[in-house]
Amino acid sequence: GGPHRRGTAGQTSRAFTVISSVAKYAQDLDAAWTVILDHAAASAAAGRAVNSPAFFIAGLKERDEEAVERLLDAALDDDRLRPIFVTMQINAGINARGCERLIQAVTIPEIPTLSFMGLMYGGACSKLLGEEFKAMILAIADRDEGVTVAAEIMHMRIFGLRSDKREVSDADQEAGRELLRRMRFNSSMHKLTRDLAEIADACLAEHRDEELAREICAQLREGAKSWGIMASDFGDLVGVLGRKFPLAVLDVLVEQPGPESGRSLFRSFRENRPCPLREIDDDALLRWVHDKPGSRFTLLAGTIGAWGPPATVEDEEEDTVPAGERLAWTSAMRRLIREAPDPAAVLEALRVRLHPSSWSGSLTDKLSARLPLLEALTEETDPRISGWASVELPKFHEEIEKARVWEAQIDRDRDEKFEW
């Protein structure tokens, strides 16, 4: 990647060209470096971005790599340069010695944790071997609030390796697993969900990491308890965990908090958002349910995605369907209903879900879109299912008619206000 720069594009580009050229062609490098340091001190005193030392390093590396190494070694002991040291090292390129410096930099309080974010960009870490990268990234993670910074760098490391068709090494995977182990989830971290999901996908193996998956789920559960996070805040991560470690997700996130807590955790997926539990294979879901049929059938009936348009029924629960199409139960929900020892208990849990707790637009349209779900149940061969649906269907028609009358009255009241 190219040199790491900070500042407005035009000014920064011109400054980079001038200062890097000085480094390339100056006859007296020591004198030029002294001028650069004076300029950096003046910029810092005036509250301006301090870019000149890093630009100088970028130019000098094309001329004298030994001089670059010498200046970077000295920079770690220079109070003026410590705040921008990481940018200087990135502009020099990160070799084994550079990696050692960055590990040393982690121990220096004057070097800001956020400055290590520059390691995400431009393939800054692409030349590091797996063991070198692991040592560096775990050192960054040791800092206060360093785990989230390290996770973003780790994500870009994996992205770069995959883009280059290179293997994610054992050492890289070990680093990723350790970052996931250290992660503590709170409401400000939801933007990390995709990064963490890709780390989990690349670094966790089904045959090896079941216990770690349970630890991660336990930390997600603790985040829900302490910070009020929902599964939707980390939906991508939960989806990967569900696909690879279905028992960990079902035991720790769905069941262990208690039935109501488990349902609450996934409640934000009830309407038009894909539920990460959809990543769990139907057979795995049903095997889990049948182990404790007395409680788990109704628990899952209140938790997993229940319906959707036929074309997307396996992906999400939603009510927006093309004209002429009918909502359908997901395959997992059909099996839950049919295989339950007491279908009525499952159906009662679903009856509650047929009535939206919140909605936009017309409640009549929302309920009408769900009517085909009950109609389909009247055609089931099990009389316990079809009989229940036959009793509920006319009640649901009444609910739709009440909603229609209520909305019509609201429309009339609004029209009368406008006429006045």
d(CA 1, CA 399): 62
d(CA 290, CA 339): 9
d(CA 280, CA 201): 14
Give the helix ranges, DSSP H, for 268-362.
Answer: 282-291, 293-301, 331-339, 343-354
d(CA 193, CA 340): 34
Residue type for 252, please? Answer: V
Which tokens hold the place of 135? Answer: 């040592």
Nearest to 354 by CA among 276, 273, 270: 270
The per-residue pLDDT for 54 is: 94
The per-residue pLDDT for 309 is: 77
Q: What percent of the chain lies above the pLDDT cut of 70?
A: 89
Which pLDDT band, with edges at 50, 70 and 90, does 391 fall under?
A: very high
Query: Measuring CA to CA, how many Å separate 113 from each of 36, 73, 107, 130, 141?
Result: 25, 19, 10, 22, 10
Most distant pair of Cα atoms in the chain: their distance: 94
pTM: predicted TM-score of the whole model, two decimal places: 0.85
CA angle (51, 56, 62) in 5-degree steps = 140
Average pLDDT over residues 314-343: 75
11-54 residue pLDDT tens: 678 989 999 999 999 999 999 999 999 988 898 888 888 889 99
221-263 residue pLDDT tens: 888 888 778 777 888 999 999 999 999 999 999 998 766 666 6
d(CA 400, CA 323): 19
Which pLDDT band, with edges at 50, 70 and 90, does 314 fall under?
A: very low
Query: Measuring CA to CA, how many Å separate 94 from each of 3, 20, 63, 106, 136?
Result: 12, 18, 17, 15, 11
